[in-house]
Structure formats: C-alpha cells, structure tokens
Amino acid sequence: MAKCKKIRKRFDEINVIPFIDIMLVLLVMVLTTATFVNQGIIPIELPSAKAASKEDLKKEVTVYVNAKGELFIEKEKVDLKTLEIRLSKLSKEQTVVLRSDKESRFQDFVSVMDILKRLNHEQLYIVTKEN
C-alpha cells in the first residue's frame, strides 16, 4: 500500500485583498460620520455689560415667488412696489434669499432680480432643489 505524502506549499505571499476591502468600508464609515461632527466650536463665556444694546439684525431676508406670481417677503404678501420699499430699508451687507417656484413666470423672477440690482444688493442666494 502506497502512502500518500503531502507536499507542503511554501507560504511566501500575503493576500491583501480582504484587508483592502475592510479598509475601504472603514473609510466610507469615517467619511459619512465626519460630516455630522461640529467643528470650530470653542466654548466661551461672554462678558456682560449693563448699557449694552442688542442689535436686531437678521442674517438673511427671504423673498418668495409662488406659482401664481405672488410675491412674499418673510411670509408676508407684498406687491413689487412694497417689495422695493422693504428691500431698500435693508443694509447692503444683509443677505437676501430668493425662493422661486419652478412653475412661476420667469418675468416675476426677473422683476425681483431687477429690484435687487437697482438697490445694489450683492449678497443674494437663489435656492434650488438638487435632483
């Protein structure tokens, strides 16, 4: 009876493909959770003053144009003249956000842009929806 002798194969290489797979999964997990981390928050306690006056500056003013062509500034219905008067009272550094319905007429959008240009407002954001 012949004995079967096993020949051992020499182990010279390491298969790194499973290691790469694990590292890619870890990388994806780190990148997805890293966007939710608050950065740059330094806890400080502000000094108090008795004669301080609080400035009521909003960071942004929102102008809406709905599908019917109606104009709203901060959820208050206005016409073009009133919109121009209200926007003229704003500081030039204050941000104006324009939200226009996709079904609204292009002329309504252009009218609002024309008012902002005449008033030299350069801080403008136009809000769109990502597809």
Q: Is the pLDDT assigned to residue 4 strictly greater than 60?
A: yes
pLDDT higher at 82 or 11: 82
**Residue partners of 97: CB distance under 8 A and separation at least 6:** 60, 61, 62, 63, 124, 125, 126, 127
pTM of structure: 0.53
> Which pLDDT tens digit goes with each residue over 66-82?
888 888 888 888 998 99
Asked if 67 and 103 touch (Cβ cutoff 8 Å), the reply is yes
Give dist(CA 111, CA 124) in Å, integer. 14
Give residue-wise pLDDT tens across range 85-120: 998 888 888 888 888 888 888 888 888 889 888 888
**Token pair listed for 90:** 């704003």
